[in-house]
Amino acid sequence: MLAEIAPDPWIIRSRPNPGARLRLFCLPFAGGSASTYRGWPAHLPVDVEVIAVQLPGREERLREPAYTSAVELSRKLVTVLARYLDRPFALFGHSMGGLVAFELTRTLRAAGLPLPEHLFVSAHCGPRKAFCLPPVSGMSDRELLMLIRRMGGTRDEVLQDDDVMKLMLPLLRADLTICETYHYIPEAPLPCPISAFGGVLDDHVRRADVLTWGAETSGGFQARMFPGGHFFLDDAKPRLLQTIAEDLATHRAPAGVSRARLDGGASPC
């Protein structure tokens, strides 16, 4: 059992579970934070501990500079998470977080560290595909604000608060730069299964984009579409969490038992 760990600014556990069978590390979307996953433990099996990763530049880490490179962030996350990999684990990332979760898995492999039992990538095109949003590097603040408004997921009162947006826009730029500047380097497919999720109303990440994740694994792939747009993790939260729980449950199956399709009410691609 892992010894008691001193507080870590990267690690947020809304419901600590030292006896958990598996840890689910959750990475945020661009501009998002660990609080997105605060309510998840109540909807997942009791033997799964949800650990939200708090990246620099948000909430209590607001004054820290945000990362702008998926590779650099993944290298740092390997050093952060290494001591938490004493038991099976899975990774979930939404939008930018999905890309970072993928690159993190590759970095773990390169370091000879344990790999996730399952990789969940949500609302992001496969890594071989070009950035699925308009380039943010040349956008004015007004243009970036309009893009965020179109994508949804941010309350109107937040978008209309100039003081809040002055704090948020630099973070959004940094996070979206992670996606915009990502350079895919061909490697062998990952051995862990990948579940890729998309929203049926997402104009930026379409069904065909979700399916491209299948090329990144030799360990099994499923793609599912959920009701809602880019932020279906809010619109379809119960279905999404049921699907994640069912996919994680397949890792309890005895050796030799094939993985059944379990779609949790979502529409398979």
Nearest Cα to Cα of residue 94 among 119, 67, 74, 124: 124
* CA geometry: angle 19, 24, 29, nearest 5 deg: 150
Gyration radius (Cα) of the chain, Å: 18
- What per-residue string of b and e applies to 96-129 under the rule 16 or more CB within 10 Å gives b? bbbbbbbbbbbbbbeeeeebbbbbbbbbbbbbee
* CA dihedral (54, 56, 58, 60) positive or negative: positive
Q: Which of 95, 137, 195, 218 is catalytic?
A: 95
Nearest Cα to Cα of residue 105 among 95, 123, 122, 93: 93
Helices assigned H by DSSP within the chain: 70-81, 96-110, 141-151, 156-159, 162-180, 207-211, 232-235, 237-249
Q: Are 111 and 244 in contact (CB under 8 A)?
A: no
Does 95 participate in catalysis according to the annotation? yes
Cα separation, 85 vs 171, whole angstroms: 29
Residue carrying the six token digits 């379990």: 262
Q: Which residues are identified as catalytic?
A: 95
